[in-house]
């Protein structure tokens, strides 16, 4: 149920001792209060791959470009982050057929206030797969074809397993689990007698179907619970559909009243005796007061110069009269918006000062939200703003769509007997299957942002 990132953090907590820095004697001891930033990651031993290929696997230890060619943000050294990337590196080697690969921390030095982390990699032999099958999908045993070279079909395996998990989650099967068993065997002597051959089987267990028991919310003080429940597409006493839960969280996030929620934030308590699952959704309300200043760089008749202070109303009432879903805004405008002249209806320039009572768009209450009231604006202008708000929501939904499943699948590997670096305890052995990225996702988000800016520029208030 938890995303792969959460499971990686848990694994990193358990095994972080292997990632503790080994600081060189001539550089002193790294102080916890001032954790160094990682300037470079190096690879020692027998990695079998070029360093550039291995660095692409890293996520926590990767330097990120803030301003291309000018500013790169270096990650802070944290043992948990190091161990999470060690697990990713091992998964990479497993996906390439190196089932005996060992990855660990070899050294940690500080140079000029920055850290240089050295990872030791012993890739071991690359195995060829003679026989590969998946057992347990729809209570069937399915053989997966392998080519004469014996390459491990990791991509095919991940596609099958992610589809199987998605189908299981749709039908309320929450206990989806996979284990990968690797066993040594004698390969076809005529093909390549010098290579080591293995048989691989993926065993899938999906358990029983669960229904939704209770859905509780915690942490909300101003917003009424009925407003939260209207945004949920997953309902009590229905089949537990993880996709519906993911869509429900996305709807709550679109309201803008709360801090963003993810699937990993939801607490799920399963009851095996009744096959029900209770949910607790932790709500973190955003501050009720805010202020903003926006406008062009200088006085111009072609742009807006405005300032606003807004405050949410106290938690009174219910339904459409729930005051905490409204905000009272006092805005001062220096220049009117010239783009409102392009609207199909005639509107007058905005007054220099506006007092607006606004209810944002609320999922589950579409027709009764996304509007504003002001004694200084005409009914035409208020109606135009209502229409533009809903048009923006339709455009966002069409361009971005429902949130994809971004949680990876961690598959434990059995049949390996290698130990950690330096004779330590056995390394955490997992193959990580990540869902494919949605096509043209950046283009979709860019188009949605552009659409929001265009429609926002036409708002008559």
Is 429 a domain residue?
no
CB 94 within 8 A of CB 101: yes
Q: Are residues 315 and 230 in the same domain?
A: no
What are 162's two structure tokens? 């992610």
Whole-angstrom Cα distance, residue 121 to residue 21? 16
Q: Are residues 166 and 70 in the same domain?
A: no
Q: Are residues 113 and 18 in the same domain?
A: yes
pLDDT at 60: 87
**Among candidate residues 148, 170, 205, the one where a domain is terminated:** 205
Whole-angstrom Cα distance, residue 110 to residue 128? 41
> Which residues are CB-contacts of 220 (< 8 A; sequence separation ≥ 6)?
228, 283, 285
CB 20 within 8 A of CB 29: no
Is 457 a domain residue?
no
Q: Are residues 164 and 224 in the same domain?
A: no
Phi/psi of residue 297, nearest 5 degrees: -70, -25
> Which residues are CB-contacts of 95 (< 8 A; sequence separation ≥ 6)?
152, 154, 431
DSSP lists the bridge partners of residue 457 as: none
Range of the structural domain that residue 8 is part of: 4-126
**Among candidate residues 259, 282, 305, the one where a domain is terminated:** 282
Q: Are residues 135 and 121 in the same domain?
A: no
Q: Are residues 218 and 121 in the same domain?
A: no
Q: Are residues 20 and 118 in the same domain?
A: yes
Whole-angstrom Cα distance, residue 420 to residue 328? 60
Is 399 a domain residue?
no
Mean pLDDT by 10 residues, the chain (461 residues): 47 44 43 70 92 90 71 82 91 92 87 84 90 87 81 90 91 90 72 76 91 94 89 92 90 87 91 94 85 54 65 87 89 64 60 86 89 89 90 86 76 67 58 84 85 77 70
Q: Are residues 20 and 79 in the same domain?
A: yes
Is 190 a domain residue?
yes
What are 403's two structure tokens? 């949130």
pLDDT at 340: 57
Whole-angstrom Cα distance, residue 290 to residue 356? 14
Is 397 a domain residue?
no
DSSP lists the bridge partners of residue 216 as: 280
C-alpha dist (Å) from residue 269 to 71, 215, 233, 455: 45, 11, 19, 43
Q: Are residues 332 and 223 in the same domain?
A: no
What are 158's two structure tokens? 């991940």
pTM given for the model: 0.74
Indicate which CATH number applies to the domain containing 53.
Answer: 3.10.20.310
Q: Are residues 295 and 221 in the same domain?
A: no
Is 418 a domain residue?
no
Is 379 a domain residue?
yes
**Among candidate residues 334, 355, 388, the one where a domain is terminated:** 388
User: What is the widest separation between alpha-carbon atoms in the chain?
Assistant: 88
Q: Are residues 9 and 117 in the same domain?
A: yes
Burial classification of residue 408, based on how many CB atoms lie within 10 Å of its CB (0-12 exposed, 13-18 middle, 19 or more buried): buried
Candidates 105, 122, 117; CA nearest to 16 is 105
The number of distinct structural domains making up the chain is: 4
Is 406 a domain residue?
no
Q: Are residues 350 and 265 in the same domain?
A: no
Phi/psi of residue 344, nearest 5 degrees: -70, -10
């Amino acid at each position: 149920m938890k995303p792969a990132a959460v499971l990686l953090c848990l694994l990193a907590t358990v095994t972080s001792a292997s990632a503790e820095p080994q600081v060189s004697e001539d550089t002193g001891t790294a102080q916890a209060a001032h954790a160094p930033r990682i300037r470079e990651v190096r690879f020692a031993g027998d990695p079998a791959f070029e360093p550039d290929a291995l660095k692409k696997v890293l996520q926590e230890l990767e330097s990120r470009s803030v301003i291309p060619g000018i500013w790169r943000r270096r990650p802070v050294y944290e043992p948990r982050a190091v161990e999470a990337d060690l697990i990713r590196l091992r998964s990479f080697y497993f996906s390439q057929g190196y089932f005996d690969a060992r990855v660990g921390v070899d050294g940690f030095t500080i140079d000029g206030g920055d850290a240089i982390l050295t990872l030791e990699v012993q890739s071991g032999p690359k195995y060829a797969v003679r026989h590969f099958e998946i057992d347990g999908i729809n209570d069937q045993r399915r053989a997966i074809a392998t080519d004469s070279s014996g390459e491990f079909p990791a991509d095919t395996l991940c596609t099958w397993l992610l589809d199987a998990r998605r189908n299981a989650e749709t039908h309320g099967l929450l206990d989806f689990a996979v284990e990968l068993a690797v066993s040594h065997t004698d390969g076809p002597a005529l093909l390549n007698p010098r290579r080591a051959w293995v048989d691989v089987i993926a065993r899938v267990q999906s358990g029983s179907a669960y229904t939704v028991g209770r859905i509780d919310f915690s942490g909300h003080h101003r917003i009424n619970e009925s407003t939260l429940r209207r945004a949920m597409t997953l309902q009590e006493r229905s089949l537990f559909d993880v996709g519906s839960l993911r869509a429900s969280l996305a709807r709550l996030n679109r309201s803008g009243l709360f801090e963003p929620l993810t699937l990993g934030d939801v607490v799920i308590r399963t009851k095996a005796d009744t096959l029900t699952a209770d949910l607790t959704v932790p709500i973190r309300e955003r501050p009720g007061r805010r202020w903003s200043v926006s406008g062009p760089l200088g006085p111009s008749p072609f742009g807006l110069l405005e300032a606003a202070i807004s405050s949410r109303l106290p938690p009174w009432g219910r339904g459409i009269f729930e005051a905490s879903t409204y905000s009272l805004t006092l805005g001062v405008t220096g220049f009117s918006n010239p783009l409102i002249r392009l609207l199909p209806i005639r509107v007058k320039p905005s007054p220099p000062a506006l007092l607006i009572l606004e209810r944002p768009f609320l999922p589950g209450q579409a027709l009764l939200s996304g509007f504003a009231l002001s004694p200084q604006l005409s009914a035409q202008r208020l109606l135009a703003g209502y229409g533009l708000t809903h048009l923006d929501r339709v455009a966002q939904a069409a361009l971005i769509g429902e949130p994809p499943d971004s949680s990876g699948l961690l598959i434990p590997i059995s049949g390996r007997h290698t130990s950690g670096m330096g004779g330590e305890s056995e390394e955490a052995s997992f193959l990580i299957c990540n869902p494919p990225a949605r096509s043209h996702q950046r283009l979709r988000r860019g188009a949605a942002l552009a659409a929001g800016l265009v429609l926002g520029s036409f708002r008559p208030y």
